[in-house]
Structure 1
């Protein structure tokens, strides 16, 4: 056991002896950290999560290498989604082509290419129509019959049907929807991610294209990463505009009740604001961007800060109500709470810092920032707030200023006091039976919680297609903007087989000139997995092999070249592949070929269509199995594969962080109680309510159908960090009271009435404030708010109900 009195006396000499120096020093530090706020950048969307896995690296290579040539600059695309009674009619074909032409002539839109079903039909009418102007002329001069025949011929071209809705009828030459693409030259690095960012240089470009489409008439929706990025940024701002005022009002109301004194309330709020400034200022100086997952950080800092503030003031009032002086009361308060705050801070830092083991950069940033923020919270509420409170009360006494509501929460005889003592009553009567019930319940909840789903998708970050009813009654300043991205995504999914998630890609980087290369690519589609769309025991696939076969079907000279080099007469060349590639790139199929092979013949891709009812797991497994059997070496990629990898990583991160947090916390608690109290077993007592909290939380999340997603993946380690906050206060206060000579149940009773009252105020304030996140427009924020509120409530409940029985059994075991 280590004597900490010398350290506490030195702290008292500063906090109690020189409060004005402490206050000044902290305000200077606040100004220094505030300087970093201007450096804080924002980052939203899914692209912050996709870095670092093999599928994403392959996805980046595909975006860099295919689509024409390897550009010095990057490219980004704008999608045009056209709907009408028949988008293959002459007026609608012209509308699509004219929108693309009007965008192309705008130099500021930096258009480097366009594709559409209308363009393919135009080239069937006039094979020499390689420009949009010529394609428009070809359609304008064609008769309806000629257009219908051209559509029939186009239907045989690989990729044409995928640009049309599922109701495409080649015989009738009709479809209700189609998509066209405009490719823009943009700064490097924009299009190489399976995710979507919160900012994009394409935003302004796509907004201009939307204006062009609007003036063209008809039903044409402009869609792309820029539009998504604008909504991602807007939805965060709109969510905060709704949540922050509501949360602030609730937190303020509970703080008014907890402090019941305007000076104490002002000091508490000032300390909370300083904590936020210090943390976000640190992020600015450290160059850590503010992503959506870091929205959790201020919530957690408020949770711990509110708890520390209420505890400090409540403990001080317990001394003052006994008739002790200002300095003496504060000295007793800091002597006890600095140790308790240190224990809480150490375990909370370990709980939050456990996220540093994650493979996902945003979760590592969250672990670092939240851990640093908790240290700041300890310093501000453990040093600054007591000094400020002491100085304020000295001024009150000097100038005779009135005080209000100085009675501590949970004082003897109150209704709350009697309610809080329920756990002590159970501990007196049947602690072992109660703990057995808790054990069985926790094991059942944990077992049920193992079925918790994981989720990672773009839709998690986007608003729902239909906004909740409460949005309609919000005043003008709080009402969110109009969101269309989710509606557009749903339209694509419902009407197009080629919508996002309905195809996967196998990327191959290898010398493609060797004789058996194309045969290997052709064989990859044989005997396909059930998740792939297939016909005649072959997968439906778009590849360089298909481009070669289509060109051979319409070009006799090229067909002769293919036949001369096809040893087994299956339409796939086996010899002189470089000669075949060179000839292909000199035909009109050059653009289509460069979608599947690079100009240096070192990389290619296979795009497999997948069944509509296949799950992400089935699709990913199928793509990986096909990639593994290609001897050239293949990597499965595409948004579905990348997002499934991230989803798996989220689950792995949650479990690893949970185990790391539990192990580190257990070691720390055993060590710290051995050092401070000479009773290392109290560390295990401290841990029991936390384990129950985590088990109950996991089971509750599954019951409420809340998955582990980009934000909630951190919740299990957060539950340890927050849960320790509650149970550590109870255990440490008990140890102090027990050491002072009280009997076991007397010490427990005094602990839960005094400290439990402060915990109650903290729980109500934090859980109500975080639950307001459920009002956020972004689904992922709403789910996170609910689980944080649930975690705080469960932490409080287990601390005041389970800890007394655990202490009673501990006392019986250690005294035996």
Structure 2
């Protein structure tokens, strides 16, 4: 054993002999950290999770190279038009009029605009390259000319991609269409950042744009990354406005029960506030952004802080009720609790920091900030709160202020005290039966938990399309804002997704002038994998090959050029590809061609349709296999692949973090108990109920249909960190009582349950209800996280009180 007591004695001396100095020092540090709160920025949405994905990198390259609106200097706004038939003449003119009004308004900084209406106008008159010219063309056109132009335009993918999937080629009608406006944004913006949260330079443009478009006689909504980012950011703050007061109220109610003294309650709440200020002040000082995952940090700090606070006050009262003086009572309390707090802090930091090995940046950041916050919580509740309590009680005596609620929770003879003895009674009667049942329950629950789903989507971070009634009825200032992104994205998904399924894009990089380039693309489509839509043993794909074929069908001259360079007469040119590309880009099909090949002929994209019944995993696997067929550098991408990649990383992160947390926690506990007690086996006793609680938690997630997502992926390692809190207090208090009572097992267990069980109960009730309030958050991901954290704390408490006594029976028998 190591003589650690001398270090604790030094801390005891500061706490009991210089409490005012300690309090002032901590208040000054709080002021310093509070200065960092002003530096906190926000970073919300899904892109923070996908930025390290190769599929996302390819998707960003496609956005930049094949859509001018996605360039670094421009921002893009979508104009989503809906109606009974948006391809009617008046509706086509309404879309062009909306684009024209945006162009004419100085605040919009419009550099270009495109739409299905513009394509129709240019099909009628190829020289109608401006919105004004396109409006005049449609105004002068007859209905039959417009229908003929729509029929011609519909032969190319550039038009059909802009109209809803209910487009009827017979009646030339559709219920929705999408137009695009590009803005010259000072400082630049990329639409690949859509949904990242924070301040977007497009927000003001798109907000004002909606007001401008509303003046047009048509149902057109403005949509873009500025609006998405704004809602992601607003959701964070709206969730906090709802959750924090509700959690504070519930926590306050239980703290009143736990402390039963207004001054002690004030000190406990002050310490909690300081822990949050220190943590997020640190976040601002080091320049880390506030993401949606970090909303979960305050409840975690409250969980540990409440536990520390109740234990500190409760243990101090145990001495005071025996007429022991203030300083000596606190010395006794801190002598015991500082060690327990250190064990809890160490293992909790391990549990949170285990998320640092995640493959996702936001989860790594979450683990870091939560771990730092727990260290701050240890310092505040281990040193500041005891010092403040000593100074406060000294002032009480000096000024004659009465004390309230001096009796500790769970004292002998109380109803709670009798209930808490259930675990000890079971251990006295049938400890090995309890252990056998626990092992079976753990194995069954763990095996059942292997079926927990994994998910990742933008919907996790957005509010539901219809908010719950209790949210909509909240009065100001708690009432949330108006959210439109979910409704719009659902509309786009319903109206513009293909009936066949989703799509996959292969991003191709290489010398596309080489003779074999187009043949390579075409041959890759032969006998495609099962996840892809196919006809005549060829994949259903849109590429530059199709645009060449479409133009050849309309231009005899171009058709002859293609035929002269088609050695094998399969319709795909083999020679002089540079000349063919040049002719294509000089034609009316230039816009369509640039959707699939860059002007330097170094990059191309091929878009494939996938089967509607193919799973995301099958699509991802088959898409990568298809990309491997290309003779060029080819990367499979698309939203399905990006989200599936993150989903896989989430599951991997959950498992790796769990294993790392278990292994490091076991090593830490064994080492600590070897150092302080010379009995490393106590570390395994401490770990046993935690393993049970983690298995129960994982099984409950599957039972309740809660998947591993960007936030709940952290829960298994967090459950270890929080679970140790309960078992560590039990084990450490037991060892102290075991020594005091000459190693009498059951008297020591009874004294432990009476002394620590009450504080654990108060802590459990406070934190489960306080954290469970996260279920009221507007975003689904936070509600799920609040529920699983509350469950993890409840299971940790339950196993500590019911299982640990029987484990100690077995421990004594084996040692």
Same fold (TM over 0.5): yes
Deviation (angstroms), 1:117: 1.5
Hey, what's the Cα distance between the residues in 2 that align with 1:505 and 1:737? 67
3-state SS, counterpart of residue 161 of structure 2: helix
Q: Secondary structure at the match of 1:406?
A: coil
CA distance in 1, matches of 2:219, 2:531: 34
CA–CA distance in 2 between the matches of 1:442 and 1:188?
A: 55
Residue 409, structure 1, aligned to residue 409, structure 2: yes
User: TM-score, normalising length from structure 1?
Assistant: 0.97
Q: Is the 8 A contact 1:162 1:497 kept in 2?
A: no
The equivalences for 1:637-676 within 5 A come to: 637-676=637-676
Deviates more, 1:196-205 or 1:688-697: 196-205
Unaligned runs of at least 5 residues, structure 2: none
Deviations along 1:250-301, one digit per CA (max 9) or x if unpaired, are 0111111111101101111111111111111111111110100111111111
Q: Which residue of 2 aligns with 1:778?
A: 779
CA distance in 2, matches of 1:422, 1:808: 15
Query: Is the contact made by 1:463 and 1:486 (CA closer than 8 Å) also made in structure 2?
Result: yes
> Aligned equivalents of 2:84 and 2:698: distance in 1?
50
Matches of 1:252 and 1:316, distance apart in 2: 21
1:641 Cα deviation (Å)? 1.0
Once the two structures are superposed, what CA deviation does each residue of 1:795-815 show, in whole Å capped at 9, x if it has no partner?
11111111111111111111x
Give the aligned partner of residue 564 of structure 1: 564
How many residue pairs match? The answer is 813
Q: 2:86 corresponds to which residue?
A: 87
Residue 150, structure 1, aligned to residue 144, structure 2: no
Cross-structure match for 2:788 = 787
In 2, Cα distance between the equivalents of 1:238 and 1:603? 43
Aligned to 1:97: 96
Distance 2:112 2:527 in 1: 36
| CA–CA separation in structure 2 for the residues paired with 1:693 and 1:42 | 34
The separation in 2 between residues aligned to 1:69 and 1:763, in whole angstroms, is 53
2:300 is equivalent to residue 300 of structure 1: yes
TM-score, length of structure 2 as denominator length: 0.97
Structure 1 counterpart SS, 2:459? helix
Helix, strand or coil: the match of 1:220? Answer: strand
Indicate if the aligned counterparts of 2:501 and 2:613 stay in contact, CA closer than 8 A.
no
- Give the aligned partner of residue 330 of structure 2: 330
Matches for 1:109-124 after TM superposition, within 5 Å: 109-124=108-123
CA contact (8 A) 1:341 1:378 kept: yes
Q: How does 1:391-790 map to 2 (within 5 A)?
A: 391-497=391-497, 502-742=502-742, 743-790=744-791
In 1, Cα distance between equivalents of 2:391 and 2:68:
72
In structure 2, the CA distance between the partners of 1:197 and 1:545, relative to structure 1 (3 Å rule), is farther
CA change 1:500–1:111 in 2 (3 A) is: farther
| 1:103-502 → structure 2 map (5 Å cutoff) | 103-186=102-185, 187-188=187-188, 190-193=190-193, 196-497=196-497, 502=502
Q: Which residue of 2 aligns with 1:31?
A: 31
SS in structure 2 opposite 1:173?
coil
Distance in 1, Cα, partners of 2:592 & 2:112? 12
Q: Is the 2:472–2:480 Cα contact (8 Å) retained in structure 1?
A: no
Match of 1:7 in 2: 7
- Alpha-carbon distance in structure 2 between the residues aligned to 1:342 and 1:620: 46
Distance 1:500 1:241 in 2: 42
Cα separation, 2, equivalents of 1:622 and 1:107: 48
SS in 2 for 1:160: helix
Inter-partner Cα distance in structure 1 for 2:634 and 2:194: 18
- 1:58 corresponds to: 58
Tell whether the 8 Å contact from 1:100 to 1:114 is kept in structure 2 after alignment: yes
Deviations 1:670-715 (A, max 9, x none): 0000000111000000000110111000000111111111111100
* 2: CA distance, partners of 1:12 / 1:214: 69
Cα deviation 1:12-56 (Å, max 9, x = unaligned): 111112111111111111111111111111111111111212111
CA contact (8 A) 2:46 2:195 kept: yes
The Cα of 1:402 is off from its aligned counterpart by 0.2
Structure 1 residues without counterparts, runs of 5 or longer: none
1:124-164 alpha-carbon deviations (Å, 9 max, x no partner): 22122111111111111111122112211122122322222
Aligned counterparts of 1:68 and 1:296: Cα–Cα separation in 2: 39
Structure 1 CA distance for aligned equivalents of residues 157 and 592 of structure 2? 9
Take 1:487 and 1:548, find their aligned partners in 2: how far apart are those partners? Answer: 38
The secondary structure found in structure 2 opposite 1:599 is coil
Stretch deviating more after TM superposition (601-610 or 407-416) = 601-610
Q: Contact 1:56–1:194 at 8 Å: present in 2 too? A: no
Q: How far apart in 2 are the matches of 1:11 and 1:499?
A: 69
